[in-house]
Amino acid sequence: METASELAVRLTKLSREQFWNVYTEFDWPEELSADRYCMKPELISIYGTELWEQLDETQRKRLSLYEIGNFFSLTLQGERPLVAGLSDRLYSKKVTEEATEYLHHFIDEENKHMIMFGIFLQKYLGKVYPEKKIALDREYAKGEEELAFFCKVMVVEELGDYYNVKMMLDDEIEPIVKQVNWVHHRDESRHLGFGRRHLTELAEHWLPQWDDATKERFSAWLTAYTKSSWSDFYNPKMYDDAGLRDVTGMSGYQIRKMALAHPATAEHRAKASKKLLNIFVRLGLLQDRPEM
């Protein structure tokens, strides 16, 4: 099987061949069309609920703007610590010389993604939704912090790519949204390939050295982290910004609580998480696939 270092050599070549300029890649329209969805309806956080059925087409399309704004904000905010963490690993003993060279491209592409999402958000929403801070102040077993970092990378990128692929092929949504999703997926397909291989090697190296208690603690943390990441898709501020309080009489937090508990959204989370959770189970990071 190809090692992470060997894969990094191939990915470096591809990144050089597909190098792009974030400032010339897009022809940003002055404004978005009110007649188009900005997010594929099936991906909207309240799709399939009774509340979704109450909304008319105009209200659904308005909500889709803030849904894509929240999704792009989550992606941007998730990439900030990723870039910082990857930068810390440059020219260190944690990665090989071949992997270090690829990490330069990885970081460059993630930085361009943040610029790309930032331009969209400031131009069409006038803001970036803030991230939710999660404190992790505790002692780590050997290799645990490194495994946790690359698991967090996988959660952000695997869940995000599920949405990217669904939207980059959809001719019904805003063309600029479709293009942003396509560009992001084009780079992320390489990042995901490297991340899966590197995480596999980390798991194979460290898990045999952990006792059962450490493995159980890590599995519990990883389950909680993945569930917490999903909760960010149900942003109360997003619902308020879309005007749903005026339409439904429900606050953003009430809508969030309803949506998270609804069987239709649980089914969506399970489907979107399946590939990610299967990877974690296969590597022994989770004992079984938890409910999302």
Per the domain annotation, does 77 fall within a domain? Answer: yes
Mean pLDDT in residue range 97-120: 95
> Tokens 């505790």 identify what position?
138
Half-sphere exposure of 275 (CA within 13 A, CB side): 13
Residue 36 DSSP code: S
> What CATH number does the domain containing 238 carry?
1.10.620.20
- Full-model pTM: 0.94
What per-residue confidence (pLDDT) applies to 135?
54
What per-residue confidence (pLDDT) applies to 55?
97
Return the biggest CA–CA distance within the chain.
58
Question: φ and ψ at 237, to 5 degrees?
Answer: -65, -35
Residue 102 has pLDDT above 90, yes or no: yes
Summarize pLDDT for 124-164 with one digit per residue, the tens. Answer: 999 999 987 555 556 788 999 999 999 999 999 999 999 99
For residue 188, the enclosing domain spans 4-18+37-282
Mean pLDDT in residue range 251-274: 97
Show contacts of 29-35: CB within 8 Å, 24+ apart. Answer: 29/176, 31/124, 32/65, 32/124, 32/174, 32/176, 33/174, 34/58, 34/61, 34/62, 35/61
Neighbours of 161 (CB within 10 A): 21
- Radius of gyration for the alpha carbons in the chain, expressed in angstroms and rounded: 20
What per-residue confidence (pLDDT) applies to 201?
95
Per the domain annotation, does 24 fall within a domain? Answer: no
Summarize pLDDT for 199-252 with one digit per residue, the tens. Answer: 999 999 999 999 999 999 999 999 999 999 999 999 999 999 999 999 999 999
Per the domain annotation, does 257 fall within a domain? Answer: yes
Domain total in the chain: 1
Per the domain annotation, does 44 fall within a domain? Answer: yes
